[in-house]
Each structure stands twice: as structure tokens, then as C-alpha cells.
Structure 1
């Protein structure tokens, strides 16, 4: 048994008291009841969706390649390399990693070297008031003992912030991928719609030519000519409006891939992009790919750690210090053995009155935790909502597409019959114009439904966090996933 002398016991008393209080500075636990509850299954699914843990880092995969469009593949790859939003997110991640390194450095011993030359005078100098020189050279050492976990919890919070930034970078990549896919698919839909409207413009021109010949022959009135000219001009205006919309989409796509709009061009082409079918039974474990949910969760945990950091401010700071080197009044004797000096000590500091600063710090950190918890809960709810939105859109769009196909077939047949009967003089021009107008409207609506199916497919991929894999289908069949959001 080691007995401490009275002076040593007195010196170590504050340190021993601090060690006793060390267990008091712990971050508060998050009430599981405050976390969002996952549904047993998606309402728009087939009943085989399962509950999952919030987002964790997983490889998202090149999901856009399922559309089998080489032009789209090239655009996405260019965007991943050159998009400015991704580069901003990457820079913020690098900044967060640097802050983590700086935070971790506070837990390590600090060692420094110093050289000092001083000329001093006055009544307290060894020379009895005469001015003299003092030269010093040595090293100093300090190490803050993390008795109450303040430094470790600060490091943990910084690490969680870095994890959040990594998730936000993945989210930026996913958003850019989805935006490029949506813009490109919208561009191709506009190409088809422009071709359809221009085809109708050609049909109206043929009708106008026939109507003008009949008017010149005296078979019809000038009113019929005016009606066809009106329809032709209105359809030409629609074609120009589509040209304007296409130019805007192309310019937006240029920004996404990091090019200037003036130098970027995608020529019109047939819309041969495949429409992948995402299996309705993909298990909701794919929600673990959602980087925005991961970022919100890591932000919440970082806020939790910072509450512990704020609470630790109520406890004393304890540091070990040491110094060693040489000191001499003569520069030539500075590094002689007789000029050596050293010192070692411990420092304990504890603010007694700070005007409520520490209490305010705890309250601020607690409020930040409440906000982060609410943000995480909202992000999870939004994730489920977005999946439900896209699943319902795809289901209803499939039904709408079938109905619209029937409408197009009927409208096309009506136009053919009206044209034959008009040329034979059995129906009026109004009947033919109405038939053509109806066919164009139904064809454009069918095209817009098709475009909406592509957009909803991309939206579902994004809502699921970036795609799926064959392993998901195996897990679905085995029914092994039993995790709960927030677990």
C-alpha cells in the first residue's frame, strides 16, 4: 500500500474529485418513441415490402444504364466528373475532414520548441536594478486530460459531421444523376412531340391546298379557307413553343454536365430509350441507400454528442504541463549543463461564475438536438412519401396509358374516315378539322403519359436511393429483413 504525504494529498485532491465526477458528463439518450415509425408495408406495394434501418453507405450502382441509352450514359458520366454541385459537396466534405483532424489533434500531447532573448531591468532583477540579459532555449509540453469526455465527444461529433457530409456528397451525386436522366428523357419526349406536331402541320397544309383549290373552283366559301388557315397557324405556333421548351431543357442539361449552353448541343433523334420495370416487390431495404436519410441521422447523432460537450463545460479542465531547456545571462553559457532548467506541473481550472454562459450552451445544444431529431424524423417520412408517390404514379400511369392508346386508335380512325368523306363531299370541313384536332390532342396526351412514365421511373429510383440489385430480390424472397427505422 502506498501512503501519500500530506502535501501530495492536498495537491491531488482536486484531481481525485474530478475523477469522481467524470461519469456525470454523458450525452443524453434519445427517446425511441421520438423516432419515426416505419409502416409495415407500402400502401402502393404488393404487401412484401419490409421495414428497414435508415440509410447506410452502400454502392448505388449505375442505375441509369438500365435505360439502355448510350447518350444518357455519356451525359451522366460527364455530369459526375464536372457538375459543380457535386464539386461543392466534395469540397465541403474535405473541409469537414480537415475539421475532424483538427478536433482530434486537441486530444494529443502538444510539444513545442522555443528560443527567447530578453533584456530586463528594475528593482527585482538579480543585478539589483541594473539592466541585464537573459537567454533561454528549450521545449514545452502540455496534454489536456480528457477526464470528462469533452474532447472525445467533440471528436465524435466532428466524425459524425464528416459522415453526414459523405452522405450529402452521395446525395448530390444521386440528385445530379436523376436530374440528368429526367432532363434528357424530357428532351427526347419533346423531340417526338415536335415531330408529331410538325407532321400535323404538314397535314393541315395539304388540307389548306385542297381547300383553296375548291374555293377557287367555287365549290366552297372563303370561310372554309380561313378556318384551315387558322388551324395551320395555331399548330405552327405550338411547334415553335415546343422548340422554345426544347432549347430551355437543352440549356439546363448543359449546366448539369458542366458545359456552357453556347457550346452544348444534342441533336434530335428517335426516342429508343428503354423503360425499365422496377419490380414492385423490391424490399424496402433499398431505403438504406437513401443518402439524405443517412445525413439527417448522422446530424442528429452529432447534435446528441454536442450536448455532452456542452455539459462537460461544467467540469474542470485538467492539463499536464512540462518544460525543459537552458537559461543563462550569457549567450555563450546558454547550452552548458549548469544552465539547464526544467519544470513539470498540473493545471486544474474551473470557472465559478460566467453569467450563465455554460447553462446557455447546454440549452442551445439541447435545442439543436431537438431540431436535428425533428429533421431526421421528417426526412424519413418524406422518404416513404416519395416512394408512395412514385409507386402510385407508375400504377396509375400504366392504366392511363392503356386508356389513352384506345383513344388514339379511335381518333386516328375518325380522322381517316372524315378525310375520305370530306374529299367526297359527304361531311363539312368542320368535321374534318375537329377530327384532326382530336387526333393531335390525343396523340400528344399519349406521348405526355409516356414521358410521365419515364419521369416517374427515374423518380422511383431516386426515392429508393439509387436503384436495386439482384440481392434485394433474394432478400425479398427469403423475407429475412426485420429491422425498424431508427433502431
Structure 2
């Protein structure tokens, strides 16, 4: 008995040691080295604090409803519509949910898998399996089973943990990509809205210009009829009116294209969306002071690229572990019988354990 116990303990210790022997390469997160960077900018005066600052990633800081600094209720409503119906954002959210589900599924492989089963099987066992003579006649039998099963793959050489890490990093990458898509959508809606308002102001300006050119043509026609000016002046007035009308038509087309683009961002068909013309008013927005380097630290697409690199590193470990053996243990406990009525009797108990 002591020999058998020692054998089990030795096997368990061996499995623990092998589980700790991960073959995945160590992944160091990228760090900005300052070995070849000067202490300060050459152009900066000595009196200013121009020393280099180590980057501090802050992509997880909430951006908030930044567009509200413009104090435009119409823009606020458009941003809300875009968040609720934009197709690109929905697709990014679906990819994030899928990645998180895959990460959870991969992590579950680190623990024993438990299952239950009930049902009949029709099988034909060989004569050797039944301990009969080689030429013995065997017949198929129906075997009823009601069992609880437990299976577990030992994390030898870090294969299972590497797969779980890769799935987790993929989920973090998709979370960063979702934030990137969200931020880009909010910015695109704001830019498209202000472009429409800019073109509304241009339309109003060109409408005034067309009215002015029409009045100039009327006066030129009257002076021509009275003989005060020649035909050249009249032709010039007509040309200026036609040019103003052409430019006004071009602005109207640009405005229609911008409105259609805004409709697509809102998840609507252009035919179902109309934004009433309102010239752009003066905006007194107070934009927070910052540096481009500060924005760089908060870019979610850079964080997504770094997480993708970490996932690729974890997959290297999973690929390397394929060179080594895998060990899966399976156990079952329950009942089995040739007759359904005898299935749950004491004599029908059965147990199975093995690799």
C-alpha cells in the first residue's frame, strides 16, 4: 500500500513540475528606452522643464461625452443615435463579446470538465475483450449507461495556460478596438455634423450672392435699355449671375453628400434622414490643453496592437508545446446494465479511470 501511495505521489509531483515547465517565451511589455535620447530638447531654453518623460499608457481612461463642450443639442442627439444604431459599432461589440466568450471557454480548460450522460449504446465486443476463445461466436448487445464523467488535461509544458493567455489577450485587444471604433464614430459624427453646418452657412452666403447678382443684372439691363452702358456690361452681369448660381448648386450638392454620410453613420438610409438647414453659429468651446504625446498615450489602437503582440507571443508557447506529450485524464462513475430495469441496482455500479 505504501508503495502504491508513493507511486501516486511521485506521479503527481512529476505532473506539477512539468506543468511549471512552460515553453512560451517571456513577453516583456514594450518600454521606451531613453539610452540614446538626449536629456532635453536642443531648441528649448534652459529655464524650461524640457526633460524627457517616460510614456504612461492611459488608454483605459474613460473619454466621456467630450462633444458636449460644443453645447449643441442637435449634436448631442445625433451622437446618441449613432451609439444606438451604428452598424460598425455593433459589429465591434459583437466581436468583443465573441472574444470574451472564447477567452472564458479557453480558461475553463484549466479546470476539470464535468459531464453527465444517460442512454443506450449498441455494441459488439470482441471475443478477446470478453475472455472467450478466438473462434467464439459473439453477439451485439444493448448497454444502458447513466454516468457522471470528469476529464482533465494536465497543463504540461504550459500548453493549456498558453492557449488561455492568448484568448485573454485577444479579448483585451478587441476591447481596445471597440474603444477605438467608438471614439472614431463619435469624432466622425461630430465632423460630419459641423461640415453640414458649414455648408449651410455657405449656402446662405451664396443665396445672398445670387440675389445680389440678379439685382445687378436687373440694373444693367435697365441701363442698357436706356443706352447708358453697352452690351459688354450686360453680358458681364449675366456671366456673374450664372457663375454665382453654379457655385450655389455645387454647395447644395456638397451639402447633400455630407448629409448622406451623416445618415450612414447614424445607421439610417439617406432617404430616411433629413437635417434642417441651420447656419453654423459661433462656438465658444474650451478645449482642454494637452500635448500630442499625451494623446498618444491614450490611443486605443496602439493598445490593441500591443495586446495582439502579447497574444502572438502566447501562441508561440502553445505551438512549441506540440513537440511534447500531452496527458489527458478521464474518469467516469455511474451505472451500466443490459436491461433498463436493472440499471440503478447496486450490482450495476461501474467506475472507469485512465488516460
Partner-residue secondary structure (3-state), 1:129: coil
Q: 1:245 to 1:331 in 2, by over 3 A?
A: closer
Pick aligned residue for 1:26 from 13, 24, 27: 24
The offset of 1:15, in angstroms, is 7.7
Q: Secondary structure at the match of 2:156?
A: coil
Where does residue 88 of structure 2 map in the other structure? Answer: 85
Contact 1:121–1:132 under 8 Å retained in 2: yes
Q: Is 1:150 aligned to residue 148 of structure 2?
A: no
Q: Whole-Å Cα distance in 2 between the matches of residues 155 and 177 of structure 1? A: 33
CA RMSD in angstroms, aligned pairs only: 3.4
* Equivalent residue, structure 2, for 1:94: 97
> In the alignment, which of 173, 177, 192 is matched to residue 168 of structure 1?
177
- 1:118 and 2:122 are equivalent in the alignment: yes
Between the aligned partners of 1:86 and 1:132, the Cα distance in structure 2 is 57
CA deviations over 1:412-468 (Å, ceiling 9, x no partner): xxxxxxxxxxxxxxxxxxxxxxxxxxxxxxxxxxxxxxxxxxxxxxxxxxxxxxxxx
Q: Tell me the distance in 2 between the aligned counterparts of 1:141 and 1:226.
A: 95
CA distance in 2, matches of 1:188, 1:38: 46
> CA 1:275–1:35 in structure 2 vs 1: closer, same or farther (change >3 Å)?
farther
Residue of structure 2 in register with 1:320 after alignment: 329
Gap change, CA 1:24 and 1:175, over 3 Å in 2: closer
CA shift in 2, pair 1:249/1:4, >3 Å: same
Q: Which residue does the alignment assign to 1:203?
A: 212
1:278, distance to aligned residue in structure 2 (A): 2.9
Q: Secondary structure of 1:324's partner?
A: strand
Indicate conservation of the 8 Å contact 1:135/1:334, yes or no. Answer: no
Whether contact under 8 Å (2:149, 2:332) holds in the other structure is yes
Match of 2:57 in 1: 54
Following TM superposition, by how much is the alpha carbon of 1:18 offset from its aligned partner in structure 2, in angstroms? Answer: 8.3
Higher helix share: 1
Runs of at least 5 residues in structure 1 that lack an aligned partner in the other structure = 348-487
TM score, norm. by length of structure 2: 0.83
1:307 aligns with 2:316: yes
Q: Could you tell me how far apart the structure 1 residues matched to 2:101 and 2:212 are?
A: 66
SS at match of 1:313: helix
Whether the 8 Å CA contact 1:121–1:129 is kept in 2: the answer is no
**Does 2:17 correspond to 1:16?**
no
Specify every segment of 5 or more residues in structure 2 that has no aligned partner in the other structure, as ranges.
none
Matched residues, number? 342
Name which of 233, 238, 253 aligns with 1:244. 253
CA deviation string 1:279-338 (max 9, x = no partner): 544584444432112211211111111112112222221222212233444544333323
Q: 1:35 to 1:256 in 2, by over 3 A?
A: farther
Deviation string, structure 1 residues 201-251 (Cα, Å, up to 9, x no partner): 222222222222221222221011001111110111000110111011111
Mapped contact 1:89–1:169 kept (Cα < 8 A) = yes
Measure the CA separation in 2 of the matches of 1:38 and 1:276.
37
Distance 1:121 1:205, change over 3 A: closer
Name the structure 2 match of 1:388.
Answer: none
* Counterpart-to-counterpart distance in 2, 1:5 and 1:249: 79
Q: Give how far 1:344 is off.
A: 2.1
Q: Distance in 1 between matches of 2:297 and 2:144?
A: 60
Q: Is the 8 A contact 2:69 2:286 kept in 1?
A: no
Tell me, in whole angstroms, the C-alpha distance in 2 between the residues paired with 1:21 and 1:107: 11
Whether the 8 Å CA contact 2:144–2:339 is kept in 1: the answer is no
Secondary structure at the residue paired with 1:26?
A: coil
Q: 2:188 aligns with which of 176, 179, 183?
A: 179
1:265 equivalent in alignment to 2:268: no
1:344 paired with 2:342, answer: no
Give the match for residue 290 of structure 1: 299
Three-state SS of the structure 2 residue aligned to 1:322 is strand
Q: 1:263 to 1:335 in 2, by over 3 A?
A: closer
2:207–2:248 contact (8 Å) kept in structure 1: yes
